[in-house]
Amino acid sequence: MPRLQANHVALDVHAARHNRNSRSSTPDRANSLRKTRLKASIEDVVEDVAASPEVAPKWCWLFLDQTWLSSFLYFVGAILFTIGSAAASFQYIVSRKMLCKAVQQYPYALGSFCFACGTVMGAASSLARLRVFVRQAHGRFASWLSYRALFCWPAAEFLGYIVTLCGCVPYNIMCVTPILLDGGIRLPIGFNANWWLKELPTLMGGICFTVGGYLTWMSTHKSMSLAAATYHDASLRVSSLYLVGSCFFLLGAFVKDPVMLPPPRYLIPTWATSAIFLIGSFLFLLGAKATIANMAQDKAREATDLDNESKPLIAPA
């Protein structure tokens, strides 16, 4: 009988130990699971913060992308135009021939060629998008009116690049003419080089840039109304910067030659004229930088999405 009681006591002690061990293991498992979930949540928060616009990359290198090449050439051309416009505001620089060539004439000339090459790349990219639209839209529209309503926007973008390219030609003439004249090129007697090679090309370039900028803005906004724009779209903000910068170029062309202004004609100081071109160049600089930043953020989001797809659904303990 005492032996039987001893066995019962031993069994009770063993059961108590087993229950204690099971109770102690349950919190450990819960803590481990809680730590795993917390770790996964922290990783998700870190990824979301890394992909947010506040800390997202602002630059990327995509040499095989025509849109990136166009924006990069616009960015370089805008920097050179900004340097030239700023230098033209100082009489000290303008009055010295070699210094004027180095910081005004050469940056203007190189910047104009960068704008021309960037516009060509933009036109090629727009043409590729237009061809993709035509190929995908074949047979998908029930009527010609619905097809035409959607076709006009990519067509307007391509036309805008073509008109802008037509404006790059007179700008190239205007920017190269001072270098050629200083190089000793002789012109026919009585030929008004200042009007035909400087003032008129500046005016024609400003008109073409403004019209082309409006066509590009219209294709991005999918509307011809300026009042209906909300500017929540990053592409619309970029095209708006290009459009306003083109308007400043056109304004600078009118202000540069008082003969073009309606009466009363006031002589605008040189620094004020250069400041107008400086503002337009700076707006193009902001637009090109914003385009590259948008492409960098899109690339970062794509990389984040690929990483999320490759991760397991349940994080390991």
Residue 8 has pLDDT above 50, yes or no: no
What is the pLDDT at residue 40? 54
Rounded to 5 degrees, what angle do the CA atoms 125, 127, 132 make?
95
pLDDT, position 149: 61
Task: Read off the pLDDT band of 261 (50, 70, 90).
Answer: low
The pTM score is 0.75
Provide the H-helix boundaries in the chain: 2-51, 66-88, 91-94, 97-100, 106-137, 144-182, 193-194, 200-221, 234-256, 270-310
Nearest C-alpha neighbor of 59 from the set 70, 43, 72, 74: 72
Q: How many other β-carbons are positioned within 10 Å of the β-carbon of residue 86?
A: 19
Q: For 257-289, give the DSSP string.
A: SGGGSPSSP----HHHHHHHHHHHHHHHHHHHH
303 against 207, higher pLDDT: 207
pLDDT at 46: 47
- Alpha-carbon distance of 272 to 274, in angstroms, equals 5
Whether omega for the bond prior to residue 154 falls within 30 degrees of 0, making it cis, is no
268 has pLDDT over 80: no
pLDDT at 277 over 80: yes
Q: What is the pLDDT of residues 214-232, one digit of tens each?
A: 999 999 888 887 766 666 7
- Residue 80 is predicted with a pLDDT of 95
Check pLDDT > 70 for residue 175. yes
Q: How confident is the model at residue 194 (pLDDT cuts 50, 70, 90)?
A: confident
Mean pLDDT, the chain, rounded, equals 78
Residue with the larger pLDDT of the pair 58 and 148: 58
* Of 37-46, 76-85, 280-289, 301-310, minimum mean pLDDT range: 37-46
Between the CA of residue 217 and those of 67, 107, 221, 237, 296, what are the distances in Å?
16, 28, 6, 9, 22
pLDDT at 124 over 50: yes
Structure tokens at 8: 């019962």
pLDDT in tens, 128-161: 988 888 777 766 665 555 666 677 888 999 999 9
Q: Which of 111-120, 168-177, 178-187, 239-248 has the lowest mean pLDDT?
A: 178-187
